[in-house]
A and B are shown apart, each in its own frame.
Chain A
Amino acid sequence: MPNLRDIKRRISSVQSTRQITRTMEMVATAKIKKAQERIESARPYALSMMEVLGNVARYVQGATHPLLEEHAERRRIAIITLTSDRGLCGAFNANILRLTEGLVKQAAQDGAEAEIIAVGKKATSYLKYRGVTPVAEYRDISDKPTFAHARAIAAHVIPAYAEGRLDAAYVVFNRFKNVAEQKAEVHQLLPIERRVVQEEETPGPKPEYLFEPSPAAVLEKLLPMYVETLIYRALLESAASEQGARRVAMKSATDNAGEIITTLTRSYNRARQASITNEIAEIVGGAAALEES
């Protein structure tokens, strides 16, 4: 027969776990909102930037820039892996790391080396476990990513690509679809895809733009900033997704804890009932024995 006190102890332990998961769920819900706002406030800049880039590209026909050029051979690629600093967020990190692993394998098959830029403690510890040394590590930024972070990360890939030390760069992150859904995705950062700078021909007169100091100089600065903006956006989306994933994970944990408590309470009551019945039986038995004598 299960011990009454043991069951009681388990119930109270599950109860305190439920309290924690419920709190985490609420905290995540509050943080999603903030993270979403941050994505929203980054949008105007990204949109204006695309507009300017489109305009510039129209004027620099057949634009050539080191960041636009595809390298003939792929010998070395960089993968920027965006994970969280903390766990308890379901498959959030596992999906990212699986995708990263896939990219590395693919690269190895094509005879290319892959270097990894790890963002988030989870990526660092996973890579350590796999015996891979990342070329750069960042942590404690998933809570509140800033543009300076994006710039620092971009500084690893942009000059390397321009100088030919890198042949491609990718970012792996969780895209924020909505509060309950996020999708791990791979985006190519470098070379910058041509369609970004190739405006489709629109009929009618086009505005004649002036460029200061020159179209090429503007493009020269604009393209690295475009890459930085892409990374910044990925950081923001990943941060929002992390909170979303945590909320869902914590919600199901809270629900499960509730279920366990119900079951445990039931078996506790059953055990209590059983012990009472037992006692009555003993008393009745004892009384009967007395009468007989």
Chain B
Amino acid sequence: MAKTLLCEIVTPERIVYRNEVEMVVAPTPDGEIGILPLHAPLVTLLAPGELRVRYNEGKDVEWFAVAGGYLQVHEDKVIVLADDAVPSSQIDVERARQAKTLIEQRMAELKEQPSGEADTVESCIADLEWCEVQIRVGERRG
């Protein structure tokens, strides 16, 4: 019986993580999902949130902030296609906070003066969520 699965976290710009792990816990729109070896083939959407992997007989855990995307499980291989992903050790909480303040200001401006472009507000919300996820994961694990 296979004891590990290959976990690959890729973003459009690079491979963030690639390792043999024992368990992957990922955020989905309907709640967290845990994947162990021999999991049935699965394709799911990812929600922005915290993704963790366990390895070395459950002793070591690594955390990642992910900004949504997909996850596919196929024959003990987990591919995470994230819009963006950062390992918790590399999150710059201070910067994320500053970015968050900036985005909030921008959103307030947009609310007062709707520029008629709906997608700018929408993209602000997505960015804001991403900043919040980074802050959350970074504070807890950093």
Contact = CB atoms under 8 A, between A and B. Distances in A.
A207 B79 contact: no
Interface in A37-57: 38, 41-42, 44-45, 48-49, 51-52, 55-56
Interface in A116-172: 146-147, 150, 155, 159
Interface residues of A, number: 31
Nearest to A207: B41
Nearest to B72: A52
Contact of B43 (A52, A155, A159, A232): A52
A215 B119 CA distance: 26
A211 B43 contact: yes
A210 B42 contact: yes
A146 to B, nearest CB: 7
Contact of B10 (A45, A159, A210, A217): A45
Contacts of B11: 45, 147
A148 to B, nearest CB: 9
A175 B29 CA distance: 38
Interface in A187-239: 207-213, 217-218, 221-222, 225, 228-229, 232
Interface in B24-45: 28-30, 33, 40-45
B45 A208 contact: no
A221 B10 CA distance: 17
20 contacts: A41-B13, A42-B12, A42-B13, A42-B14, A45-B10, A45-B12, A45-B13, A48-B8, A52-B79, A55-B41, A55-B74, A155-B119, A208-B40, A211-B42, A212-B28, A212-B43, A213-B29, A217-B45, A218-B44, A218-B45
Interface of A: 38, 41-42, 44-45, 48-49, 51-52, 55-56, 146-147, 150, 155, 159, 207-213, 217-218, 221-222, 225, 228-229, 232
